[in-house]
Chain A
């Protein structure tokens, strides 16, 4: 009890600091210089109408590479953490009743649609809200649906691992290509910028979005799979 009061006191003191920040906050009236630069140069620099995607994939591409790596790390570590308590192969899901026809058919019907939506979100990331992460997450939700609908189904581990590796490696290589062919690491100018607002435009952004999408989808799938395999059947 005393402990909670003390912690409440500490949190309140931290709250004072935050309150000072919030009370002293004056919203900008104009875009600051960084944002203004992005607004002015989105078309010429990266060729992406969705400025946020331009920032994510190109200007702050290193962050995004790091972000992808976070997911990669998480999935690798979760596999490591759970490896020790893995159920023996084949045993997982054995205790589940076979899923009914309704569920199976429904999920089979939904899966292509989910995949399509994912692909759409990925491919249009530079034009409309969306992008590799969002699309990748949608793709993984398809995998989640499969896992939930049919727990006894085993995914081809090696396929996921391969997608994970190849997309990640290709991402790094595209980044290096930026150094060799364009202005620097992760420069999207290795491909022509194309017509502003077209599907295949904005240089390497759609390519990178695809790679991110695949990578994110594969990482999430592998995390889900690791979790599923530890199911206490």
Chain B
């Protein structure tokens, strides 16, 4: 193993010796530069590997042959080696990314790049304070030089602003260093003694030192200079500036603050959090891609600074957490900057050009997920451990601010991703070439590899080593295949997984599994209609199913949460595929992430920092004081997923705008994940009360209100898929109500809804989707009379609404029957009334659905329509058959569950004998009911046929508009505003209170961002004044904190 000093020597030696070559031999010179960077990377990687596997010990390198503190010494342990690898590899790739500029400007610029990489490496290795200063200045000078590689003339101004600020930093740094030297008699970092936070002598010197190093991290608001560099510099360089220099500067802060003692940490935490949250808020209003990345960079540096501030509570996990966040940030940010060098336009919308190359979309998705801290990337694991440690240490406010910042960050990152997927792609907007693509994909591969490495962390659960996740990844590799082949494989994968695991599940889990896994396979049958390659669909869908599969498998908090996030991410990509779904997918992911963070906090609260924590261990906290809070947090997370009223505004758009086969997946299947979570939670925690309020009663109210208002809102929809979406809110309300009753029948009811809702909602979405495929409209008043043209779709809608409305004979009635029995047991009167009223309201919208689409007059443009594609009909017919069978024989599924629930509540209110079910309030014999209904139906049908010749056909055009052209023709259609009288009566319920609330929240945050960014006036002198203001403000605040 060669000495790490060689990294410095090679960088420097090569930089010096480039002058010996003829300047004209540009390619040879560039080749030498690349080789040098390659060798430096190889040394760094070699050390990382050796240190990680234990083949080598931390290297203590003495220069001048004298022990420290009398000569400068260097250290390379695992964190140093990992950072060195990051720095040198980023340097190598950055050199490739900047190749055009480096070749144009010749050996001088290459030497500057080499020196920069050398200096950043030195900064990481050195243990000497003044040597630190030398490297910082080298970095500053080299940065000012490389900024000039940009073709953008504004870069010159940016470089000057940067130099002005680095002058101020170096003044503070030098004063701090010399007084620290005076106090300790040594310049060695390891000789710094624990200094109390005070403002004289050694402590003040430490303050100046630290604040100078912190300003290097571009904290808000003293960071205008850095943002200008990000905006105007060559993106290849910005990658280096963000990933390498930023990470090294963080490491330096850590290096210096570690010996100074924990008293200084709150300072770092405060500055870091402010910087993280504020930078992200400002970024919301940013339209230039590189400046946006700049804001995100300074935000991330703030986050990690805040994490450094938590090193006292993180203990052993410190390196894992901080390292995971740093590497995620560095890899993703570098990758995004390198991608931005390929995108020609500078607006966020211009990234739509990526869409022309599918792998680029994968790269973009990878980087966004890495930045936000989603699985399977290191930031995700780090976030989890951080949350655990923070909550265990009672630092909930810190965690809250961090999660808030992450949420805001994901808002603009996912909005940007949405632009890339959905906006108009400019002709020739992507300057893709093999080298830049290669750099990007090397970075992507690095990100995934890190994800795998981090998975082997203390949670002992590596997502990328689980079969479902691997399957999802395999589907990325299968992308070049034809969609129908992939569809077959996907169905096989789902069924295979179910066959493998089904045997081990208890009856309740089995029902969820049946709905989610083979249920998904049935819906996938509809996907056989799609031709071509259907890029992006299968990896997303399989990621969602992987999440669901893992959710059912989860035994620990972490496994559950990881599965939850995978599912969310996969479904987001699926929803985003819809034609008009850009804003809806965004609100979906934001609400989901918000909910997930509530779950994260809830779990952290419950586990008290013990890792890994089994889910069954949740019952151990049921008696603790914090149990109600755990309940509230978890319930908030799960209710977001089931779209309970108040948290529902993402659902209608997301479900309605999704593709034909995606709507049933996200509606019929995905919503059940929230119910599954609620079941798990209630099973463990039981009833909890907060300030004397029984929380399950609150849940019951929320359920009832959702059931009622969801139905009311569905009534007034013109769009068939939106109607179904609102109906889902209502149906989930029923299920929630059932669960919240906390009795045997309530739970049975909820299970019934799990099955029923999956079947009829999937069926209806498919049917309406099939109609949409033919008519190209979802607006019901534009349709009519399709019964003769699309008889199969009609049948499935008919059966679907009968089942859903809860009238006999189909299974919906079974649901209602159990439901009425359940509420007889409960003593909740008001929600009970609401639930009762939701029934007839539900009937109104269902009636409208079938009436306006299939009955009435056929529209002229629709006269030649054919039945929906056969593959869309196949699953519907399966569902029809199932509904009828389930109506007759509900016992086949429910009896086992009933017994299982009985084992939880210790009662058995239902008695199953033969085909009939008896409760204390009456009995239900499905077979008998079915027989009666069929007989009545056949009788009435026969009479109708017999009377058919009496019917009189009405001419289609016997209405006269007194020669006046209607201003909006659709308003004359009978199905337009179908329930106008009801709207008069109940319209006030439609007031978008919730929507305006959330609109106000986002508007407020955006306004704050718009206001704050005016702060960055662009004047270099003002920026320098900001730095001074920042230093003085921190000084005063910290001093006030002591006094």
Expressed in whole angstroms, the Cα–Cα distance for A13 and B131 within the complex equals 29
Q: Are B204 and A11 in contact (CB under 8 A)?
A: no
Residue A210 lies at the interface, judged by CB distance under 8 Å to chain B:
no
B-binding segment of A98-106, A139-147, A164-172: A164-172
Q: Are A33 and B131 in contact (CB under 8 A)?
A: no
Q: Is the CB of A175 within 8 A of B9?
A: yes
Kindly list chain A residues whose C-beta atoms are within 8 Å of the C-beta of B862: none
Asked whether, in the complex, the Cβ of A60 is within 8 Å of the Cβ of B71, the reply is yes
B208 and A17 within 8 A (CB)? yes
Residues of chain B contacted by A176 (CB below 8 angstroms): 6, 9
Query: Would you call A117 an interface residue if the criterion is a C-beta within 8 Å of the partner chain's C-beta atoms?
Result: no
> Which chain A residues border B259 with CB–CB below 8 Å?
none
Find out whether the CB atom of B20 lies under 8 angstroms from the CB atom of A166.
Answer: yes
Q: Is the CB of A32 within 8 A of B204?
A: no
A contact residues around B1025 at 8 Å (CB): 6-7, 10
Whether the Cβ atoms of B70 and A59 lie closer than 8 Å is yes
Among the 9-residue stretches B499-507, B584-592, B1026-1034, the one with 4 or more Cβ atoms under 8 Å from chain A is: B1026-1034
Between A59, A74, A79, the greatest number of chain B beta carbons within 10 A of the residue's beta carbon is seen for: A59
Query: Is there an interface contact between B130 and A83, defined as CB atoms closer than 8 Å?
Result: no
The interface residues of chain A lying within 8 Å CB-to-CB of B3 are: 179, 185
Q: Kindly list chain A residues whose C-beta atoms are within 8 Å of the C-beta of B187.
A: 34
Which residues of chain B from 1 to 40 have a CB within 8 Å of any chain A CB? 3, 5-6, 9, 12-13, 15-20
**In chain A, what residue has the closest Cβ to B183?**
A32
* Residue among B12, B200, B1028 having the largest count of chain A Cβ atoms under 10 Å: B12
User: In A134-168, which residues have CB < 8 Å from any B CB?
Assistant: 161-162, 164-166, 168
Residues A183 and B66 in contact in the complex (CB < 8 Å), given A77-B141, A165-B20? yes
Given contacts A76-B112, A169-B13, contact A45 B1029 (CB under 8 A): no
B16/A164 in contact, CB under 8 A: yes
| A24-B201 CB under 8 A given contacts A7-B1028, A76-B145, A165-B19 | yes
Contacts of B185 in A (CB 8 A): 32-35
Say whether B115 faces chain A, with CB atoms less than 8 Å apart: yes
A168–B667 alpha-carbon span in the complex (Å): 68
Which among B12, B134, B199 is the interface contact of A67 at CB below 8 angstroms? B134
B105, B141, B186, B1029: which contacts A34 (Cβ < 8 A)? B186
- Main secondary structure, interface of B, reads helix
Given A14-B1028, A83-B105, do A73 and B64 touch, yes or no (CB 8 Å)? no
Interface residues of B in 574-609 (CB under 8 A from A): none
With A73-B138, A74-B141, A80-B105: A20-B199 Cβ-Cβ less than 8 Å:
yes
A167 nearest in chain B by CB position = B16
| B66/A72 in contact, CB under 8 A | no
Complex Cα gap A185–B69 (Å): 15
User: Given that A20-B204, A169-B16, A175-B9 are contacting pairs, would A66 and B135 also be in contact in the complex, using a CB cutoff of 8 Å?
Assistant: yes
Interface string of A32-73 (1 = CB under 8 A from B): 111101100100010000000000001111110111011011
Chain A residues within 8 Å of B12, by CB: 65, 69, 168, 172
Name which residue of chain A comes closest to B188, CB basis: A34
CB-CB under 8 A for A14 and B1032, given A61-B64, A188-B64: yes
For the complex formed, measure the closest distance between the CB of A72 and the CB atoms of chain B, giving whole angstroms.
7
The closest CB in chain A to the CB of B184 belongs to: A32
Check if A172 sits within 8 Å of B9, measured CB to CB: yes
Nearest CB of chain A from residue B1033's CB, rounded to whole Å: 9
A66 is contacted by which of B66, B134, B1029 (Cβ under 8 Å)? Answer: B134
Give CA–CA (A83, B1035) in the complex, Å.
43
Q: Which residues of B contact A189 (CB under 8 A)?
A: 65
Chain B: number of interface residues, binned into ranges: 35 or more
Is residue B261 contacting chain A, with contact meaning CB distance below 8 A? no
- When C-beta atoms are compared, the residue in chain B nearest to A189 turns out to be B65
Given A60-B130, A81-B148: A18 in contact with B63 (beta carbons within 8 A): no
Q: Cα distance A32–B70 when bound, in Å?
A: 11
> What are the residues of chain B within 8 A of A162 when measuring CB–CB?
19-20
User: Interface 1/0s, chain A 3-24, versus B by CB < 8 A?
Assistant: 0001100110110011011001
B205 in the interface (beta carbon within 8 A): yes
Contact B145 A77 (CB under 8 A): yes
CB neighbours (8 Å) of A118 from chain B are none
Taking CB atoms, residues of chain A closer than 8 Å to B205 are: 21
Asked if residues B145 and A62 are in contact (CB atoms below 8 Å), the reply is: no
List B194-250 residues whose CB lies under 8 Å from chain A.
199-201, 204-205, 207-208
Q: How far, in angstroms, from A6 to B1025 measured CA to CA in the complex? A: 9
**Contact A13/B112 with A32-B186, A62-B131, A73-B142 known, Cβ cut-off 8 Å:** no
Specify which of A14, A18, A41, A66 lies most central, judged by the most chain B CB atoms within 10 Å of its CB: A66
Is B927 on the interface with A (CB-CB < 8 A)? no
A20 to B204, CA, bound (A): 8
Q: Which residues of B contact A69 (CB under 8 A)?
A: 12, 15, 115, 118-119, 138
Establish whether residues A187 and B64, one from each chain, have CB atoms under 8 Å apart when the complex forms: yes
Chain A CB within 8 A of B468 CB:
no
A173 interface contact, C-beta 8 A: yes
- Chain A residues in 8 Å Cβ range of B429: none
Within the assembled complex, what's the spacing in Å between the Cα atoms of A77 and B205?
33
Q: Could you say which residues of chain A place their CB within 8 Å of the CB of B19?
A: 161-162, 164-165, 168
Residue pair A37, B70 in contact (C-beta under 8 Å):
yes
A178 CA to B208 CA, complexed, in Å: 36
Taking CB atoms, residues of chain A closer than 8 Å to B179 are: 21
| A72: contacting residue among B15, B186, B208, CB under 8 A | B15
A184–B65 CB distance below 8 A: yes
The residue from B17, B62, B1036 contacting A169, defined by CB atoms under 8 A apart = B17
Chain A residues in 8 Å Cβ range of B115: 69, 72-73
- Known contacts A21-B204, A69-B12, A80-B108: A62-B20 contact under CB 8 Å: no
Question: Does A182 belong to the interface (CB within 8 Å)?
Answer: yes
Residues of A within 8 A of B135 (CB): 66
A186, CB-defined interface residue at 8 Å = yes
Q: Mark B862-898, 1 if CB is under 8 A from A, else 0.
A: 0000000000000000000000000000000000000
In the bound assembly, the distance between CA atoms of A165 and B23 in angstroms comes to 13
A73 touches B1028 (CB 8 A): no
Minimal Cβ-Cβ distance residue in A for B69:
A34
Instruction: Flag if B138 contacts A66 (CB, 8 Å).
Output: yes
CB distance from B1039 to the nearest CB of A (A): 9
Contact A60 B72 (CB under 8 A): yes
A-B contact list, 30 entries, CB within 8 Å = A7-B1028, A10-B1028, A14-B1035, A20-B199, A21-B201, A21-B204, A32-B186, A33-B185, A41-B70, A59-B64, A60-B131, A61-B64, A66-B131, A66-B135, A69-B119, A70-B134, A70-B138, A72-B111, A73-B115, A73-B142, A80-B109, A165-B17, A165-B20, A168-B19, A172-B13, A184-B61, A184-B62, A185-B3, A187-B65, A188-B64
User: Which 5 A-B residue pairs are closest in the complex by CB-CB distance?
Assistant: A183-B65, A32-B185, A168-B16, A165-B19, A77-B145
A residues at B contact (CB < 8 Å): 6-7, 10-11, 13-14, 17-18, 20-21, 24-25, 28, 32-35, 37-38, 41, 45, 58-63, 65-67, 69-70, 72-74, 76-77, 79-81, 83, 161-162, 164-166, 168-169, 171-173, 175-176, 178-179, 182-189
Q: Given contacts A73-B138, A172-B16, A184-B63, could you give 16 more A-B pairs where the C-beta distance is less than 8 Å?
A: A7-B1028, A21-B200, A25-B182, A61-B63, A62-B128, A62-B134, A63-B130, A69-B12, A69-B115, A77-B108, A80-B148, A166-B20, A178-B65, A179-B5, A183-B64, A184-B65
